[in-house]
Structure 1
């Protein structure tokens, strides 16, 4: 039986690094090792992470277009992990299984290949198509599973608008027995004040007793008074009854995806913390194997069902969607849940 009231770890997207020249490989490595040191990782593990990120960055330089590396932290009650996400815009990897074998390197970058990354990481996943490749590697302080960091059923990714250090979008997830509860907030505007509003929404969501989506959004609306406010949405996925209950206020887009259909969910107009004439929950069917996506208006809504979104880890699906649909000049956030 699933644990009751179990939160996924608090995730912080620490640094996005565009990798288009050799010096930027070093920047990505330094961002990852600095985070590992900050989280108290042993020196030998920090060095392993540095080598793995160097291999990731070098592969982007040699093989990919528009390569990016995201370094992020996962913090649970007593434990933490470093996650490194690699994202590019093609041309893709013909044989993903071969690429993850130790010693495979088509250009001899470090003589190790992506298999060295998989070997150094505690978990590693890779998806690839002609549109691009996404890879995520998670590193624990010491090898082995962490009890406070469960397997992912939902994950998201955020990216600040160019020129800003902090992203105004944020998300959180809670598991309650057979329910998965998702929350996304897009703080109004950009920069530190928008980020502060979204952090407050995450804090309130995590501390408020689990109730209906409508009650949670009502509570978030009240709690964001005194902040810059923003758009908020809560989706409750009942995995036993196979229903999705959704309540949104403002421009958070939400969809239930199946192999051949994208069912949009309705948000009411308004700004949490300022204006909410109507706060209402809508119910939608949740077919077996469906995927639920929430995203801010930093992404265009002109995307449809895609095999990358319906298979593989939620983080890779979120990253692929950010790459393909995050074309607006704005903060961007995506949250993906597998049911």
Structure 2
């Protein structure tokens, strides 16, 4: 299946601090379900998933966040729900995933119900370091056509802004996938316009190599204030990724070892002096992580045992939760090639 998934899709972020927040995020989910053509039964399942996830945050952590948006997948039409907190974590996850078990003494069906209702479910937790839950519900009951990569991304504007100047996009086709991560200069609407122009360049030049996409984006960004940009092309047949970067998008590939992605100085759309692509091995199970400078660079997944093998959105959520600077727009894009040893 060929598809473009990007940060241009609507993503609703809800702080969960009070019981009234549960109804607010549930209404947001219903609105998206209506827009995507979910039937009443599937929309009802989504409402239950959201209610249990939000209630779980309040009961066990006191506060947290829930993100609701279209499925970050080329496989079909669906809705993703991401819930995370900085609470005490879950000491016995296996017990909590039994349907009907509630350690908070509630009559709710708990995490076991979420696991049962969601078409895709994953969780990452550490004692004393909070928990992150990922739930996906497809619109249709039939199994979606698989895609060659799994995608997980989060993005957030700096406080006081409604639009995020950091953006991302992934185009999937039968031969591979093309990745793009952009950080529009500054923040606010003009930075968002620059990121959108970069995504438009990918939409117009699907399937090209990383350096070709960088040149196309340079032309597309000339009328804007410009951006830092990273582009990559994964070729399934070659088990390889070609990467090109200009500016301060940080990135790495994790495939047993961790390999940093090298970028050149410059601003795409203005003073881009050099474009060079670098090949890296990228076989089944390999993970690529790209993020803007709104995320600290000192993170190390070795301090999160087992996280690298979880759903990409869980990796993105932990990095965003624990390493966001808070002084600029922020974005994390994680892409795994199918075939993980999870």
TM superposition shift of 1:221 = 0.8
Q: How far apart in 2 are the matches of 1:93 and 1:301?
A: 27
Deviates more, 1:316-325 or 1:157-166: 157-166
2:197 is aligned to 200
1:158 is aligned to 155
Residue correspondence of structure 1 range 287-302 to structure 2 within 5 A: 289-302=285-298
2:132 is aligned to 134
TM superposition shift of 1:102 = 1.3
CA deviation profile, 1:206-262 (whole Å, cap 9, x unmatched): 220422211110110111111232111112234554443211111110112255x53
Residue correspondence of structure 1 range 187-226 to structure 2 within 5 A: 187-226=184-223
**Retained in 1: the 8 A contact 2:158–2:326?**
no
1:267 is aligned to 263
Change (3 A) 1:9 1:245: closer
Q: How far apart in 2 are the matches of 1:36 and 1:238?
A: 34
Report the secondary structure of 1:153's partner residue. Answer: strand
**Retained in 1: the 8 A contact 2:73–2:150?**
no
CA deviation profile, 1:255-280 (whole Å, cap 9, x unmatched): 12255x53221111122112211122
1:327 is aligned to 325
Q: Does 1:36 align with 2:33?
A: yes
Q: How far apart in 1 are the matches of 2:112 and 2:159?
A: 33
Change (3 A) 1:37 1:209: closer
**Retained in 2: the 8 A contact 1:235–1:246?**
yes
2:164 is aligned to 167
Deviates more, 1:32-41 or 1:6-15: 6-15
Change (3 A) 1:288 1:14: closer
**Retained in 1: the 8 A contact 2:185–2:226?**
yes
User: Where does the alignment leave 5 or more consecutive residues of structure 2 unmatched?
Assistant: 338-342
2:111 is aligned to 114
TM superposition shift of 1:98 = 2.6
1:94 is aligned to 91
TM superposition shift of 1:204 = 1.8
The number of aligned residues is: 333
**Retained in 2: the 8 A contact 1:292–1:338?**
yes
Q: Does 1:125 align with 2:122?
A: yes
TM superposition shift of 1:36 = 1.2
**Retained in 2: the 8 A contact 1:152–1:313?**
no
TM, length-normalised to structure 1: 0.88
Q: How far apart in 1 are the matches of 2:272 and 2:98?
A: 53
User: Where does the alignment leave 5 or more consecutive residues of structure 1 unmatched?
Assistant: none
Q: How far apart in 1 are the matches of 2:66 and 2:185?
A: 26
**Retained in 2: the 8 A contact 1:154–1:335?**
yes
Q: How far apart in 1 are the matches of 2:260 and 2:72?
A: 32
TM, length-normalised to structure 2: 0.87
